[in-house]
Structures are given as structure tokens and as C-alpha cells.
């Protein structure tokens, strides 16, 4: 029997004749040979170890790196590994609700000002513009007051107010401006910092362009590439082209004080144009990030027979775009690849985040914008009560949302990405019929996370003596 045990979760990934041994929670990755990997496997399986000096040398190094430790005698749930990657993912079942009330004190809100839209994007997840509804300004102000009072009570020095979809927020421009003014006033009264953000389709008048450029902390513009692609996928409501207006917006925002990002949705028949679009965006505008995502087939895309690109094609395109944008100092990101950070949840939905729909409901997910969404029972967890001028929450739904973490995702248990993609987007996972796309996203997540892991591995100084792990 060995005197050692694994001190943390360890994963192994083949790399040529060697293996990457990865301990995400220790932020440690190493290249090792078969012998060192087998030694770790023996320790994990509690098998007896060879007693030669070479083994001793490797054990000392693993102890120093805190990948193994002296055996504590405790058994049961503990570190696992080294494990190999699962080939596929299966949908994860939502845990049963626990009804323990837990206070909710958000200090950030996202306001879905309207479901009206001036575009009719062929893949719109929310079918924006089909049934216009507008958020009552009083509800929006009360949401801002709620987060401000939470920040004051919890002594958090800042609040965030953002404007997002269901439609195009700048179409409710007057409400948007009033909300920002209200938030500024309330923050001044309480000595709080204010961050503001907006996700927009970029089609707006010059007055709104100026306002966003000079007022917002950050602006994310959806744009799908060369004019022919943009105008086909993201036409105006009257069928007209949208590309020229979006380019004008990017130009104005680039000259402003806000941080600007661009988001491109890739389909199977537009992905060939994505590198050219990324080159243009990175070279000609002042962007902080360019965000690439494969299409997720839902909403309006189901009526237009649009398909996501294959995982292979997306990964290959992403790598190319990353290199092209890097020449201009711009970072290309994809939501499922985030090796540099550790997380138990993919996004704030499990916090849950405080997003107010145009109907005054509270949703944890940007993609679930109304009660008619099949995932509404999971993500809509509260509503505005006009009589009380307050928000009422469903404690059972909050408790269930808080369990939407990677710790409750059995399919992720053996995946080296588990503390990075953290189970990926719960909303996509719970979308009826989304299984294939979810599996493709897992493939993308693993390959792009592995790229980041290899970059980190190659850029990290080699600890003294570590060659002992790769020598024969």
C-alpha cells in the first residue's frame, strides 16, 4: 500500500508521447512521461509503489508541487484522477428544489427595456420585434433603487446597471437615458461607483451613438461581418440593410470613452467570412474584445433552417481569428473557454442575477425574456409587485437556480474543463431539442480550453527538478 494520496483533483491529457497532468484547483500543469503518469494512477488507486531512487525523486517533486500528500487515512469523496476525457456529454438533470429561503441582495441589474426591435435577425433567440412590450419606467427606477439600497446595506461600493435584449434597448432611448440619470443621482447620494453597459444591435441615430459613446462604461455591438452577411442575417425590420448603420456606430463608439466589444454569431454558411470580418473589426475600430459564438438553434433560427458550424470548423476559425486579432492587440473570446479563471458556475444565472424583463418579471437568464419561454419555470424567479413597489421572489426557484453549478453536473465530473466552463450554459442545456448543440459546445470548450492550457504550460517557468517527470 502507498503512503501517499492525491492532494487535489488531477486530470491527464495525452500530448504526443507525453501527457499533460493538470490540477486546475492548484493552478498547476506539467508535462510528464508514462512512468510519472502511472505513478499518479497507482497513488490514486492506492496500489503499492516501486521503491527505487527514481520513484523517490518523482514522489518528492509531486509532494513539493502539492499534487500528492501523505495519506490521511480518511476515505470517501476526495480527489480523483488522473482521469481521461469523456468523449461526449449527456444532458444533465436539474436537481429537485430545496425551499430554504436565502436573502437575495443584488447590486447589479440588467433592464430589458423593450422587446421591440428595428432588426429581424434570422436567428434571433427572442424573436425580437414580433410582439413589442416595454418596461415601465417606474419598475426600472425601483429596480435601480433596490440594487442601490443593497449596495449601501452590504457596504459594497459600486453598482452596475445594464441594458439588454428581448429587443433593441436603444429603441427605448428615453427610458434608457432616464434610468442612467436616476442611477447616477442615487449613486452620488450614497457615494457609490456606477458602471453602465448596453448590448445593442448598433442600428440607431447619431444622438444615441453620441450618448452611448460618451456615457456608457461598456457597449457590446452585435455584428456578423461583411455587409453581405450582416444584411442577410441581420436585416432591418423593413427588410433594408443594417451594415452601414452598424459600421457608423462602431466608428463613433471607437472615438468615445466607453469600452467597446463586438459579438459575432457564426453559422455553417457564414463562418468562412468570419476571419475577414474579425480582421476588419480589429484593424479599423478600437475594440477591447471580439466575441465569437456558434449559432445556438432556437427562436427564429428554427424557421430559417440555419445551422451552427461544426465544432471542428468553429475551433479552426476561432484559432485563426485569435491570431489575426492579436496582430492588432485585440482579444478574441468564446464563452466556453476560460482556462485562466476558476468557477463553479458558467454565469451569474446561479447567483441568481437580477434581470428585469419588459413585463416586470425577474429572470436569471438573458436568453429567457418572457413567460412563454419553455425554460421560464427555471429562470423566471420573481416579479414586480406594483402595490408594494417592490420585487417578490420565489425562494424555491432561487434555491434551484443556486444549484445550477458544475458541482451538480454529473456529466462534467471527469472533465478537465469543469472549473473553467463550469458546466457551460444551463439555459442552452435546458432548451428542448438543444442536445446536439450542447454536445458540440462541449467539444469546442475542451479544445479551446486545452489551447489555453497549453499556452499557460509553455509560458510557465519550469519548476526546478521537473525534468524528472519527463525523463525515461
Q: How far is CA 291 from the centre of its chain?
A: 10
| Residue whose C-alpha is closest to residue 428's, from 112, 114, 92 | 92
Question: CB 418 → ligand SF4: shortest distance, Å?
Answer: 4
Question: Is the Cβ of residue 105 or residue 371 nearer to ligand SF4 in the bound state?
Answer: 371
Question: Is the Cβ of residue 106 or residue 299 nearer to ligand SF4 in the bound state?
Answer: 299
Question: Is the Cβ of residue 10 or residue 117 nearer to ligand SF4 in the bound state?
Answer: 117
Question: Is the Cβ of residue 128 or residue 360 nearer to ligand SF4 in the bound state?
Answer: 128
Residue 463 DSSP one-character state: P
Q: Which of 20, 109, 124, 368: binder of ligand SF4 (CB under 6 A)?
A: 124
Question: Is the Cβ of residue 106 or residue 202 nearer to ligand SF4 in the bound state?
Answer: 202
Question: CB 88 → ligand SF4: shortest distance, Å?
Answer: 9
Among 49-57, 163-171, 244-252, 272-280, the segment contacting ligand SF4 (CB under 6 A): 163-171
Question: Is the Cβ of residue 375 or residue 418 nearer to ligand SF4 in the bound state?
Answer: 418
Q: Is 119 in the site for ligand SF4 (CB under 6 A)?
A: yes
Q: Which of 212, 287, 290, 442: binder of ligand SF4 (CB under 6 A)?
A: 442
Among 6-14, 121-129, 373-381, 396-404, the segment contacting ligand SF4 (CB under 6 A): 121-129
Give the Cα separation of 312 and 438 in Å (integer).
14
Q: Which of 106, 128, 256, 434: binder of ligand SF4 (CB under 6 A)?
A: 128
| Residue whose C-alpha is closest to residue 115's, from 301, 298, 354, 358 | 358
Q: Count Cβ atoms within 10 A of the Cβ of residue 187 and give its class: 0-12 exposed, 13-18 middle, 19 or more buried.
A: buried
Q: Is 229 in the site for ligand SF4 (CB under 6 A)?
A: no
Q: Is 129 in the site for ligand SF4 (CB under 6 A)?
A: yes
Collapsing DSSP to helix, strand or coil, 305 comes out as: coil
Could you write out the DSSP letters of every residue in 246-300?
Answer: HHHHHHHHHTSSSEEEEEEEE-TTTGGGHHHHHHHHHHHS--SEEEEEE----GG
Could you write out the DSSP letters of every residue in 121-182?
Answer: -TT-TT-TTSS--B--HHHHHHHHHHHHHHHHHTT--EEEEEE--SS-GGGGHHHHHHHHHH
Q: Is 418 in the site for ligand SF4 (CB under 6 A)?
A: yes
| Residue whose C-alpha is closest to residue 31's, from 23, 21, 40, 43 | 21
Q: Is 412 in the site for ligand SF4 (CB under 6 A)?
A: yes
| Residue whose C-alpha is closest to residue 279's, from 467, 356, 287 | 287
Collapsing DSSP to helix, strand or coil, 6 comes out as: strand
Give the Cα separation of 222 and 37 in Å (integer).
45
Give the Cα separation of 116 and 125 in Å (integer).
14
Question: Is the Cβ of residue 24 or residue 106 nearer to ligand SF4 in the bound state?
Answer: 24
Q: Is 117 in the site for ligand SF4 (CB under 6 A)?
A: yes
Give the Cα separation of 214 and 399 in Å (integer).
39
Q: Is 411 in the site for ligand SF4 (CB under 6 A)?
A: yes
Question: CB 408 → ligand SF4: shortest distance, Å?
Answer: 11
Read off the C-alpha cell for 185.
443621482
What pairing do the DSSP bridges indicate for beta strands 355-356 and 108-111? parallel
Question: Is the Cβ of residue 165 or residue 275 nearer to ligand SF4 in the bound state?
Answer: 165
In the range 68-97, which residues lie near ligand SF4 by CB under 6 A? Answer: 89
Question: CB 193 → ligand SF4: shortest distance, Å?
Answer: 29
Give the HSE-up count for residue 211: Cα atoms under 13 Å, Cβ half-sphere.
17
Collapsing DSSP to helix, strand or coil, 471 comes out as: coil
Question: CB 241 → ligand SF4: shortest distance, Å?
Answer: 14
Question: Is the Cβ of residue 71 or residue 94 nearer to ligand SF4 in the bound state?
Answer: 94
Question: Is the Cβ of residue 129 or residue 294 nearer to ligand SF4 in the bound state?
Answer: 129
Among 152-160, 161-169, 205-213, 248-256, the segment contacting ligand SF4 (CB under 6 A): 161-169
Q: Which of 415, 430, 440, 448: binder of ligand SF4 (CB under 6 A)?
A: 415
Question: CB 120 → ligand SF4: shortest distance, Å?
Answer: 6
Could you write out the DSSP letters of every residue in 322-375?
Answer: HHHHHTTT-EEE-TT--TTS--SSSSGGGTT--EE-TTSEEES-TT--STTSTT
| Residue whose C-alpha is closest to residue 287's, from 301, 296, 277, 295 | 277
In the range 233-272, which residues lie near ligand SF4 by CB under 6 A? Answer: 234
Give the Cα separation of 277 and 284 in Å (integer).
11
Among 24-32, 153-161, 204-212, 415-423, the segment contacting ligand SF4 (CB under 6 A): 415-423
Question: Is the Cβ of residue 218 or residue 445 nearer to ligand SF4 in the bound state?
Answer: 445
Q: Is 421 in the site for ligand SF4 (CB under 6 A)?
A: yes
Chain residues in the site for ligand SF4 (CB under 6 A) = 89, 117, 119-121, 124, 126, 128-129, 165, 167-168, 201, 234, 409, 411-412, 415, 417-418, 421, 423-424, 442, 445-446
Amino acid at each position: 500500500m502507498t503512503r501517499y494520496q492525491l492532494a487535489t483533483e488531477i486530470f491527464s491529457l495525452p500530448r504526443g508521447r507525453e501527457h499533460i497532468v493538470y490540477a486546475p484547483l492548484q493552478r498547476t500543469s506539467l508535462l510528464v512521461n508514462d512512468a510519472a503518469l502511472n505513478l499518479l494512477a497507482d497513488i490514486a488507486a492506492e496500489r503499492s509503489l516501486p521503491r527505487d531512487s527514481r520513484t523517490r525523486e518523482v514522489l518528492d517533486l509531486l509532494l513539493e508541487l502539492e499534487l500528492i500528500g501523505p495519506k490521511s487515512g480518511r476515505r470517501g469523496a476526495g480527489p480523483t484522477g488522473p482521469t481521461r476525457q469523456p468523449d461526449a456529454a449527456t444532458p444533465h438533470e436539474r436537481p429537485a428544489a430545496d425551499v430554504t429561503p436565502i436573502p437575495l441582495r443584488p447590486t447589479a441589474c440588467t433592464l430589458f427595456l423593450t422587446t421591440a426591435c428595428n432588426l429581424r435577425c434570422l436567428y434571433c433567440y427572442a424573436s425580437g420585434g414580433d410582439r413589442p412590450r416595454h418596461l415601465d419606467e417606474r419598475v426600472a427606477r425601483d429596480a435601480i433603487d433596490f440594487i442601490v439600497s443593497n449596495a449601501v446595506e452590504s457596504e459594497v461600493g459600486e453598482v452596475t446597471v445594464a441594458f439588454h435584449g428581448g429587443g433593441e434597448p436603444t429603441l427605448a432611448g428615453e427610458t434608457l437615458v432616464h434610468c442612467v440619470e436616476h442611477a447616477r443621482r442615487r449613486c452620488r447620494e450614497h457615494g457609490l461607483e456606477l458602471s453602465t453597459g448596453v448590448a445593442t444591435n448598433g442600428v440607431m441615430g447619431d444622438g444615441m451613438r453620441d450618448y452611448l459613446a460618451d456615457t456608457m462604461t461598456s457597449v457590446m455591438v452585435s455584428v456578423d461581418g461583411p455587409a453581405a452577411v450582416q444584411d442577410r442575417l441581420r436585416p432591418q425590420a423593413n427588410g433594408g440593410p443594417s451594415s452601414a448603420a452598424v459600421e457608423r456606430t462602431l466608428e463613433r463608439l471607437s472615438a468615445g470613452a466607453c469600452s467597446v466589444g463586438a459579438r459575432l454569431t457564426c453559422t455553417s454558411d457564414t463562418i468562412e467570412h468570419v476571419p475577414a470580418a474579425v480582421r476588419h473589426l480589429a484593424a479599423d475600430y478600437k475594440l477591447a474584445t471580439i466575441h465569437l459564438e456558434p449559432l445556438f438553434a432556437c427562436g427564429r433560427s428554427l424557421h430559417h433552417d440555419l445551422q451552427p458550424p461544426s465544432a471542428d470548423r468553429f475551433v479552426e476559425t476561432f484559432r485563426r481569428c485569435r491570431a489575426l486579432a492579436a496582430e492588432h492587440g485585440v482579444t478574441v473570446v468564446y464563452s466556453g473557454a476560460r482556462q485562466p479563471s476558476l468557477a463553479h458556475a458558467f454565469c451569474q444565472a446561479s447567483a441568481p442575477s437580477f434581470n428585469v424583463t419588459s413585463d416586470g418579471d425577474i429572470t436569471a437568464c438573458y436568453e429567457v425574456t418572457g413567460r412563454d419561454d419553455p425554460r421560464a419555470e427555471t429562470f423566471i424567479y420573481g416579479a414586480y409587485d406594483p402595490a408594494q413597489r417592490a420585487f417578490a421572489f420565489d425562494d424555491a426557484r432561487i434555491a434551484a437556480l443556486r444549484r445550477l453549478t458544475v458541482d451538480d453536473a454529473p456529466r462534467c465530473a471527469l472533465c478537465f474543463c469543469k472549473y473553467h466552463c463550469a458546466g457551460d450554459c444551463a439555459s442552452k442545456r435546458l432548451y428542448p431539442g438543444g442536445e446536439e448543440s450542447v454536445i458540440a459546445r462541449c467539444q469546442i470548450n475542451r479544445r479551446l480550453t486545452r489551447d489555453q492550457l497549453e499556452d499557460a504550460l509553455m509560458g510557465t517557468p519550469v519548476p526546478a527538478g521537473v525534468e524528472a517527470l519527463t525523463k525515461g
